[in-house]
Amino acid sequence: MLFGLAYRLLGSVHDADDVLQDAYLRWAGTDRTAVALPRRYLTRVVARLAVDQLRARRETYVGEWLPEPVATNPSPFGAVDTSDLSIAVLHLMEQLTPPQRAVFVLRSAFDLPYDEIAGIIERTVEDCRQLHHRAERALRDGRARFAPTPAEHRRLLADFVAAAREGDVTRLHGLLHADVVGWSDGGGRVRTARRPVCSASKVARFFAAIYSRQSALRAVPLEVNAAPAMLIVYPRSRHLLVLDVDADAIRRIFVLANPDKLGAVPSALEVS
């Protein structure tokens, strides 16, 4: 539960693990007889540590920052609702302020009452209500309204990769929403597009050019963040391809190529 909280707040496995380690050290040094509700105490500690880290990070990150993917088959988050764990939703949450993100996660994912959230982030109950309202409003337009079934999502992902490998720009264009946006995260470690690629025509040409040049490319399906994804494997590198689908059209595309962020994703040998 605590890992799920830290990961939702930070979008990073590495950062979530660091927060849990710090929380453990605080717990180890605490007088347990003075803690009436350990779960509430630890939730407060983890949330505060994560918010502090949110305020301080990513000033020097090279290029677009995307959430770190997590393999979820099996899930490390336990038997909880994972609808808010998608790369698309976590990416949307990057536009929220740290307090907004904390209130949104604690209320929407963990269903904590506002008075308890107020104690965790040291705000008034009314402040927390307003923060949650603003967070919901900020995220509303970006979230998919008609999510596909997992089978439909996998089919669209396979069709996208197949059309790109064939260099079929027309077929790719037909799979994309008119206002589709593609983001790439290489973290300065791997050469990627530094800026988002916008519009169906540009996105179609971009991926057709990249994938059709690589005859040795392998595409391995897997599940990350409770959604279908494709591991794209080259002879000397790999990246993860994730699609955000609304109805039957691709609205957002995420290419995660920074090797530092692929540690929680199986290798091609593990999933092939």
pLDDT band at 80 (very low <50, low <70, confident <90, very high): low
pLDDT reported for residue 136: 93
- The Cα 173–Cα 250 span in angstroms is 10
158 phi-psi bin (left φ>0, alpha ψ -120 to 50, beta other): alpha
Residue of 101, 63, 95, 93 lying closest to 256 (CA atoms):
63
Architecture per CATH, domain 150-271, reads as Roll (3.10)
Q: What is the DSSP string of 30-73?
A: S-GGG-S-HHHHHHHHHHHHHHHHHHH--TT--S---PPP-B-S
CATH architecture of 2-57+96-140: Up-down Bundle (1.20)
Largest CA distance in the chain: 67
Q: Is the pLDDT of residue 250 over 90?
A: yes
Predicted local distance difference test score (pLDDT) of residue 11: 94
4-15 average pLDDT score: 94
DSSP assigned state of 260: G
Share of the chain above pLDDT 70, in %: 95
pTM of the model: 0.90
Cα 15 from Cα 13, distance rounded (Å): 6
Long-range CB contacts for residues 207-212, cutoff 8 Å, separation at least 24: 207/160, 207/164, 207/172, 207/182, 207/253, 208/163, 208/164, 208/167, 208/168, 208/169, 208/172, 209/167, 210/164, 211/161, 211/164, 211/165, 211/167, 212/164, 212/165, 212/166, 212/167
CA distance 190 to 256: 10
What is the domain partition of the chain in residue ranges? 2-57+96-140, 150-271
Between 155 and 140, whose confidence is greater?
A: 155
Which of 37-51, 72-86, 111-125, 152-166: highest mean pLDDT? Answer: 152-166
